[in-house]
Structure 1
């Protein structure tokens, strides 16, 4: 017998309100997108308010909720409950049958369809939780687990109960079941687009996610107490959970981008390692280094964002654990007469997973990529220094060459200007005398050398000899200077 009294389906939807670096237009667009989920005119509530920086603000003020339009003969009833949770928006949509007669568990399928119809195509950007609850028609005679299975399969027929069950808990004479499933929608080896890199996608585009809590109550008093509490405390509790999963999904995207950047930078460095620095084209090396140094700033930004996700999870995990304790303490106080277990242990399993898997994984990734960043920077700086040293050496050699050639040319010019004082430059000297000159006698041996050019050739030889002599002395002096200076 799978009948329950007053079956109710709640869905908690969360959207990012603002984040660092966003413009006013971005914030306004997010606000409009959130309020589009509520098919009522709420223009009066769209204006910014300093109080909206508070931890928990009921957007509708004292009105709190907006009930569904009451159509004549309507089978269902429900309400919208929008809130502002610091940097996020939260919306609770509750739908239930409008009578207290026992209903089959499969009725929740119709309730979910009613909620989906009201939401239309509007999806949350941070996350979503489904809460199904109802009062057992015959406490003690019904199999609560079988009813819960029927409720879950009616809501998500494509899911598997055994695989998704995270935990169950009997407390306050009630039966609690938590089911969850999530996986990333992108392959670990595929390239991540720029939009993914900058975390511009909503969670449903990067993460396949289901989170369902089922509560079966023994009687009306417990049902009203727990339901009333979860309508409000659940808004914060499930928001913390959604933020943790959202941050973890973003961290996986950032991890992929950091891996891609690391590969690109290492390829650049490998090109340099494989090169012979004594023969390599330094223009190509500089091009490769510039490419690596262009990637590094994005790498550093992504690493900073990865560390931000770690801090976000840490903060929200702490708040999640505090909220679970607060809910347990409240129920202990309100239902102190019940002689049953009073600990909601099933909610603690997610906190353990978030701490030992999500948070630890991001922290380890952060340490690895931080170490890689420092190594990459050191390698690039060292290679760049080698390039600069070699370029400085080549510049110094060029300057020395210019100095040597300059001194040689200067000495040659001076010699040429004084050549008119040489005896050999006398215009009356005969060709025979020039042929008897030590230098002339060597030059004249050159086949077919024109004798009229003999005097000019002798003078040119003097100039060239002086140029080579002074250039050699200059080269020796510079070599000795560099030797003693080093």
Structure 2
């Protein structure tokens, strides 16, 4: 069936993006990120010495570094016609893997069946050890139509069917597909965003650019190169946006869990506070448990806001790069690229801002409850301290009265030598006087201080 669809210089490109350095990651994790990225290029040939040499090309302050220096690209061994092009874009590793079908003689200028794309995809996946881009990836199919009357849409559908993904895909069933123009050629976009319960790699993004047959093939190759230079950055912004939103969904789940736990603790606390005898030990346990929840709540809200800012910044950069692409050809139509930025603005940013509005009051409630409990504990401790002071004061007064009474009674009624003092009337009366005085004094002190 696909023999009727042919392209001149059929080429498949894969754009992969990996996080170079994540928020709060230590040196060991950064080294691991670097190693995983370069394994896509060198596989088992990558050793510590090679990794250390490659690390020297990186820079924290630059947004665009060719990581292989003047060499620029690492070419595939014969007989394949392809290359790796690794660059550093800010905090991200980007890798373009390009492979042109060379399965016939004079492959650069003669038509080939689009069946070659399935083989090209297998070649590329083998070359990168079947690894995914942690931030995302995009497949780009491009080539030149073989004849003037060849239908671009039917050809694009047949090309799309050649690619394999983790999920079944079908041109008619894939909801998100759009079309544009570039140098008289037709550009198609197909994408599937991962659902909330899926991994980022479960989604996919495909671009198909088919140039008309009347152009010279060398011109097509040159124009495609100018497009590839722009795409590697535009797609970086795109995947950074989707990745940040995917991370924000994980943070939202964390906030839901923290919110439920906090709500459970607060309900239990409310029940305890309604008891006439407040147990300070229970309140202190509450204060001991809540900092962990509060820290989790605070950190997740902070990270959620960080993801919001990441999306916002990358939407702005995406729009700028979109305008740069339109300047490559004044007659081009890349409207579908702007559609994505508008979608991200409304859907992604809107959802995160809604989440922030929903969860932020929970943090305030937790903080207020902690302050309230601290206040209650302080009051209860103050009550305890006052009771102790009252007790000491009243006992002191009672002892003083008992001592005075004892002295007076002993003077008036000296004890008999044959009788112990604590069995005499003087002792018993003095103790009784001291006890009564202590009780009266304790009540008076309590009433006065109250």
TM-score after normalising by structure 1: 0.82
User: Could you tell me which residue of structure 1 aligns to residue 209 of structure 2?
Assistant: 215
Query: Is 2:363 the counterpart of 1:373?
Result: yes
CA distance in structure 1 between the partners assigned to 2:140 and 2:150 by the alignment? 20
CA distance in structure 1 between the partners assigned to 2:417 and 2:22 by the alignment? 98
Q: Taking structure 1 as reference, are residues 454 and 155 closer, same or farther at Cα in structure 2, changes over 3 Å only?
A: closer
Contact 1:165 1:177 survives alignment (8 Å): no
* Residues 263-286 of structure 1, C-alpha deviations (whole Å, 9 max, x = no match): 111111100112224224331232
CA distance in structure 1 between the partners assigned to 2:422 and 2:57 by the alignment? 102
Contact 2:156 2:188 survives alignment (8 Å): yes
Aligned runs of 1:198-237 on 2, under 5 Å?
205-206=199-200, 208-218=202-212, 219=215, 220=217, 223-237=220-234
Contact 2:301 2:360 survives alignment (8 Å): yes
CA distance in structure 2 between the partners assigned to 1:35 and 1:427 by the alignment? 105
SS across alignment from 1:46: helix
Contact 2:139 2:207 survives alignment (8 Å): yes
* Residues 185-213 of structure 1, C-alpha deviations (whole Å, 9 max, x = no match): 638xxxxxxxxxxxxxxxxx555220111
Query: Is 2:402 the counterpart of 1:412?
Result: yes
SS across alignment from 2:202: strand
Of 11, 14, 17, which residue of structure 2 is paired with 1:14?
17
Query: Is 2:428 the counterpart of 1:456?
Result: no
**How far off its partner does 1:22 sit?**
2.4
User: Could you tell me which residue of structure 1 aligns to residue 434 of structure 2?
Assistant: 467
CA distance in structure 1 between the partners assigned to 2:195 and 2:179 by the alignment? 25
Query: Is 2:340 the counterpart of 1:342?
Result: no
Contact 1:170 1:176 survives alignment (8 Å): yes
How many correspondences in the alignment?
430
**How far off its partner does 1:165 sit?**
3.2
User: Could you tell me which residue of structure 1 aligns to residue 187 of structure 2?
Assistant: 176
**How far off its partner does 1:244 sit?**
0.8
Aligned runs of 1:80-91 on 2, under 5 Å?
80-91=84-95
> Where do 4+ consecutive residues of structure 1 move more than 4 Å?
40-45, 49-52, 452-455
Q: Taking structure 1 as reference, are residues 407 and 44 closer, same or farther at Cα in structure 2, changes over 3 Å only?
A: closer
CA distance in structure 2 between the partners assigned to 1:123 and 1:30 by the alignment? 13
Query: Is 2:33 the counterpart of 1:30?
Result: yes
Query: Is 2:159 the counterpart of 1:159?
Result: no
Q: Taking structure 1 as reference, are residues 93 and 465 closer, same or farther at Cα in structure 2, changes over 3 Å only?
A: same
Contact 2:422 2:428 survives alignment (8 Å): no
* Residues 85-104 of structure 1, C-alpha deviations (whole Å, 9 max, x = no match): 11111110001112032222
CA distance in structure 2 between the partners assigned to 1:134 and 1:254 by the alignment? 42
CA distance in structure 2 between the partners assigned to 1:2 and 1:421 by the alignment? 130
**How far off its partner does 1:378 sit?**
1.0
Q: Taking structure 1 as reference, are residues 258 and 118 closer, same or farther at Cα in structure 2, changes over 3 Å only?
A: same
Q: Which has the larger radius of gyration?
A: 1
User: Could you tell me which residue of structure 1 aligns to residue 254 of structure 2?
Assistant: 257
Contact 1:11 1:94 survives alignment (8 Å): yes
**How far off its partner does 1:226 sit?**
3.4
SS across alignment from 1:390: helix
Contact 2:73 2:86 survives alignment (8 Å): yes
SS across alignment from 1:305: helix
User: Could you tell me which residue of structure 2 aligns to residue 5 of structure 1?
Assistant: 8
Query: Is 2:409 the counterpart of 1:400?
Result: no
Of 41, 53, 67, which residue of structure 1 is paired with 2:75?
67
**How far off its partner does 1:236 sit?**
0.6
Q: Taking structure 1 as reference, are residues 255 and 388 closer, same or farther at Cα in structure 2, changes over 3 Å only?
A: same
**How far off its partner does 1:344 sit?**
0.7
User: Could you tell me which residue of structure 1 aligns to residue 449 of structure 2?
Assistant: 482
Query: Is 2:136 the counterpart of 1:136?
Result: no
Larger mean CA deviation between 382-391 and 90-99 belongs to 382-391
Contact 2:283 2:373 survives alignment (8 Å): no
Aligned runs of 1:278-293 on 2, under 5 Å?
278-293=276-291
SS across alignment from 2:40: coil
CA distance in structure 1 between the partners assigned to 2:363 and 2:233 by the alignment? 37
Larger mean CA deviation between 43-52 and 153-162 belongs to 43-52
Contact 1:226 1:331 survives alignment (8 Å): no
Contact 1:8 1:96 survives alignment (8 Å): yes
**How far off its partner does 1:455 sit?**
9.9
SS across alignment from 2:139: strand
User: Could you tell me which residue of structure 2 aligns to residue 239 of structure 1?
Assistant: 236
Contact 1:268 1:289 survives alignment (8 Å): no
**How far off its partner does 1:414 sit?**
4.0
Contact 1:53 1:87 survives alignment (8 Å): no
CA distance in structure 2 between the partners assigned to 1:59 and 1:317 by the alignment? 26
Larger mean CA deviation between 37-46 and 404-413 belongs to 37-46
Of 152, 155, 162, which residue of structure 2 is paired with 1:147?
155
Structure 2: gaps spanning 5 or more residues:
none
* Residues 112-131 of structure 1, C-alpha deviations (whole Å, 9 max, x = no match): 00001111143322111110
CA distance in structure 1 between the partners assigned to 2:242 and 2:81 by the alignment? 31
